[in-house]
Amino acid sequence: MTNLVQNLEQCWYISPPWGQRIPPLLVSLLERVYVKSAKAFGYCCGIEWSEQGWKYEIVTSGDNITVSANELIGTGNLQSVTKEKPVFRLGELVEFRFHGDGPPIHIVQGIQLINDCWFYSIEWMSPAISEKGDEVFGSRDSIARVTDYDLDRVQS
């Protein structure tokens, strides 16, 4: 007999939260941007999916702020703050080496540069379902930031 819960959970981790196609990004990682609300220039050091769409992590004169696309104006110019490029890309299927009892394959939902190292956001915990089965409860704690050491590329 097939374990339906296990199959559902495996599908959950590889289903893109944004739907079938990955929505376009307004700006690229490491792109110099102008943040309207802060009235300051900075560069994009991270991108992560949220229920409202892409959220961008911007470094502006020592501060990191998280903004949505409507607060940004891209310049098209890339900053050279790191020599390394991200190993994985948004939406890529990866194998999480330390998956414990859960499914090993996940989808990259975000990328962030922290202290000159790239971190990848993956969902490591599936949501809870109400007893009646009519509601799904998720949590921001379900997202883990891991390094490329923690992930392997899924062979197609």
Domains and their CATH numbers in the chain? 4-21+84-153 (2.30.30), 31-78 (2.30.30)
Cα separation, 122 vs 144, whole angstroms: 5
Residue 18 has a pLDDT of 87
Which segment, 11-20, 48-57, 76-85, is predicted with the most confidence on average? 48-57
Mean pLDDT of all residues in 128-153: 75
Closest CA to 15 of 119, 129, 135, 105: 105
97 against 148, higher pLDDT: 148
Average pLDDT on 70-76 reads 94
> Measured on CA atoms in the order 140, 23, 63, 112, is the torsion positive or negative?
positive
Q: What mean pLDDT, rounded, does the chain reach?
A: 84
Give pLDDT, residue 143: 85
Decide: pTM greater than 0.75.
yes
Helix, strand or coil for residue 139? coil
Residue with the larger pLDDT of the pair 121 and 130: 121
pLDDT at 130 over 80: no
